[in-house]
Structure 1
């Protein structure tokens, strides 16, 4: 019965969550292609303004994480994601209709606002369906929507811009989010007890197992106590620095490649997709072994260390060999993504359910702030120096510190330590 139950959950919940997050990720990743594919010239966007526009999404994303996560945790993740799907699909399509920079600024910020609750809401929803031994894999299949989307989006965006222009790229890639909202509402169930495709015995088995996991943790009184704890502060700093590197990489990879002599936008799209193939393999492997061993941090810091080394190597080789520097960028991209599943499984296991939603929102908001700083600073430095070399150093240092923080992130002090005594590192 247990094996059959697990299969039903994986088939009914994970594909829907994967597609939903994939559509959400489009609007943050395709902007880099528009910038490299003629948008800046058409709207008269300077390099400094382009950096601001690329990062504004994450500023909006930063401000509304905690309220969204709280609503999802205490009311309905399903309803919040449904509304967000419609709004972000409309705003993403509207990006292709702008006629001036002011409109683009507003749209980019609002895109971040409406999408801000999606990631924590999804993590909360999955934590209501999957046990500790399954959660890293479940989170990974969700977050795989990130590199998988960038992979096919990189190729498709190159062709769309080449044949139809950047405006139609935004419009075509925004409409599916609106349509998918109604599929989401029809197919997803908030908790096992609401699923008519489970038997009563299956519902009870899932909920009893999840409740048993919560008994191992002493409840923390409120968000204020949780947010002041050492473990939450370390998680926030860790994710801030990691996201600095990830989105400095994601937002500007197309421009890094496009600056090479005789590089067209279609080839740029194909080359930009390769790191995400490596990312998919790394994410699947890391999540599988993290769930098998329940040693989360062993599948976080080594990958981040590899990413930092690869980014530093790119700095050394950028002016000598595009082939070698591109190979290192592929390694960096794959290693930056691999630890996502184990990391978010760790977050949900370190804190009890009554504050986990807000804590996820806080950690993710700091990641968004890191994404804002990373994407803006990388773009600013590129425009200032005319090269990406300095940016590689900043990204490498940020990711390196994040890797080192992993080694102490699971050793919280009181009062959280008592609640975590039975949770394996």
Structure 2
């Protein structure tokens, strides 16, 4: 490989075999990367990405296939495990109230009427209120450190739920929990975009997101074990309080670990040599997005607001998460309503997690192989529609058929994972990306806030109106996903025609991949479908 002028590094044997990797054809990136320090001063760049400043003094760099695979394995080995563990815990923390609901929480805290539904909704009120501020703070502050502090705080808040005695205490703590958990998903989208190529992102988002399923499995067995243990041996405190204490303290410990293990950017990664940091940045050139920019740009903010994709993402998340908000908080109650005992409802929640893991990995792999993310997402939504129709339509003497249908609803997470991957891949410009991220998750919050309110106390135990609402929402979301694909395909075609018409007169700005240009400003950018 062509030498990189750094005195403190040693070139590995794998790096010496420099042959250019062919990038995805839709991006049309050049073969050899030549850093131009003057590009930092380009009047069109305004304020370049942090990565360009880091590599400005390096010579020409070529990346061969073996080096690329080595770097990818190195990143996966050091970044993905901690992300998977944290995402597992955040879902376990958020949904622990569902397990607690059938372990005595509602009785011990004297909940009546819609009060339990409001405990589900108020979490997302906090999430909603803090979503945009937390995205701005993530842009301004060191990303990993900010995320780690939030994790430690919400772990402590969750443990504090064990001390709540009434609705007022529970609703206050759930509100705070929503505020501090609002950072995790947008932070993980940013981590994914700063470490992985566009072609790798859908599967990686799927890998860390599918740990929601792992959380369901762990949570089901943990709650069942605690419930049986308390029933058999007794306990100084109720089982639902033990759930909150165990999950809360575990989260705090992992938050401390993230502060130590997760670098804020590739440029600060202790597990990379100086030379590997440059190579990791170079392999991201194909994304045409850089790795981050600390400065808020009003032009990018305005562009995010006028981009129709932003509002399609928002619409999808709002509509599809009405079902999620209801089922996440009422899962144990719904399963119990099918004809099972409270303890059985805890145990029979576990297959939902297994279905979610398998479905997300399958759909994300399908999207990566076919390069058709939108169609893969639409396919995934058809499974929960069919499953919930079984729950609604099968007769009461077929509880196992209804339960199998309910397990299929876990496919519903797949399309949301695809949407997160699209934001990571298809939104360029750091201010624009954080803004779109926030707006999308505001839609997610509103949907999850509405969801529990569709489960009205007067409709118990069947909750038929809520179930019908869920099916309708999933059906509508399919049309939104198709609209996203249609818009991206049309724009890609227009840009291809624009480039072909220009012929030899078409010129790309040098190092434009690290100029913090938006997907509108960068005419070389192509949207993943």
Which band: TM-score by shorter chain? over 0.9
Q: What residue in structure 2 maps to residue 190 of structure 1?
A: 264
Measure, in 2, the Cα distance between the counterparts of 1:68 and 1:57: 16
Task: Note the alpha carbon deviations across 1:205-231, whole angstroms, 9 max, x for none.
Answer: 221232442269xx9922132123211
Q: Which has the higher contact order (CA 8 A, sep 6+)?
A: 1
Measure, in 2, the Cα distance between the counterparts of 1:208 and 1:295: 26
Q: Does the Cα contact within 8 Å between 1:24 and 1:88 map onto a contact in 2?
A: no
Measure, in 2, the Cα distance between the counterparts of 1:348 and 1:396: 28
Q: What residue in structure 1 maps to residue 375 of structure 2?
A: 298
Q: What residue in structure 2 maps to residue 106 of structure 1?
A: 172
Q: What residue in structure 2 maps to residue 400 of structure 1?
A: 475
Q: Does the Cα contact within 8 Å between 1:226 and 1:232 map onto a contact in 2?
A: yes
1:287 corresponds to 2:361: no
Q: After the TM superposition, which residues 45-64 of structure 1 pair with which residues of structure 2 at under 5 Å, given as runs?
A: 45-64=111-130
Task: Note the alpha carbon deviations across 1:224-268, whole angstroms, 9 max, x for none.
Answer: 321232111011000111111123222211001223546141x22
Q: After the TM superposition, which residues 329-408 of structure 1 pair with which residues of structure 2 at under 5 Å, given as runs?
A: 329-333=406-410, 335-354=411-430, 355-378=432-455, 380=456, 382-408=457-483
Measure, in 2, the Cα distance between the counterparts of 1:423 and 1:38: 50
Q: What residue in structure 2 maps to residue 148 of structure 1?
A: 214
3-state SS, counterpart of residue 319 of structure 1: coil
Q: What residue in structure 2 maps to residue 7 of structure 1?
A: 73
- Identify, as 1 or 2, the structure richer in helix: 1
Task: Note the alpha carbon deviations across 1:124-152, whole angstroms, 9 max, x for none.
Answer: 01211111011011111211221110111
**Farther off after superposition, 244-253 or 99-108:** 244-253
1:278 corresponds to 2:355: yes
Q: What residue in structure 2 maps to residue 133 of structure 1?
A: 199
Following TM superposition, by how much is the alpha carbon of 1:39 offset from its aligned partner in structure 2, in angstroms?
0.9
Q: What residue in structure 1 maps to residue 59 of structure 2?
A: none
3-state SS, counterpart of residue 44 of structure 1: coil
Q: Does the Cα contact within 8 Å between 1:245 and 1:374 map onto a contact in 2?
A: yes
Structure 2 unaligned regions, length at least 5 = 1-66, 291-296, 492-517
- 2:107 equivalent among 41, 57, 80: 41
Structure 1 unaligned regions, length at least 5 = none
* CA root-mean-square deviation: 2.2
Q: What residue in structure 2 maps to residue 227 of structure 1?
A: 305
Q: Does the Cα contact within 8 Å between 2:317 and 2:447 map onto a contact in 1?
A: yes
Q: After the TM superposition, which residues 180-259 of structure 1 pair with which residues of structure 2 at under 5 Å, given as runs?
A: 180-214=254-288, 221-259=299-337
Measure, in 2, the Cα distance between the counterparts of 1:241 and 1:298: 18
Q: What residue in structure 2 maps to residue 81 of structure 1?
A: 147
Q: After the TM superposition, which residues 318-337 of structure 1 pair with which residues of structure 2 at under 5 Å, given as runs?
A: 319-333=396-410, 335-337=411-413
**Farther off after superposition, 154-163 or 5-14:** 154-163
**Farther off after superposition, 90-99 or 306-315:** 306-315
Task: Note the alpha carbon deviations across 1:13-34, whole angstroms, 9 max, x for none.
Answer: 0000111121222221110111
Q: Does the Cα contact within 8 Å between 2:150 and 2:181 map onto a contact in 1?
A: yes
Measure, in 1, the Cα distance between the counterparts of 2:156 and 2:528: 43
Q: What residue in structure 1 maps to residue 527 of structure 2?
A: 423
Task: Note the alpha carbon deviations across 1:359-381, whole angstroms, 9 max, x for none.
Answer: 11210121111011112322x2x
Following TM superposition, by how much is the alpha carbon of 1:320 offset from its aligned partner in structure 2, in angstroms?
4.5
Greater C-alpha radius of gyration: 2
3-state SS, counterpart of residue 341 of structure 2: coil
What TM-score does the superposition give when structure 2 sets the normalisation length?
0.75
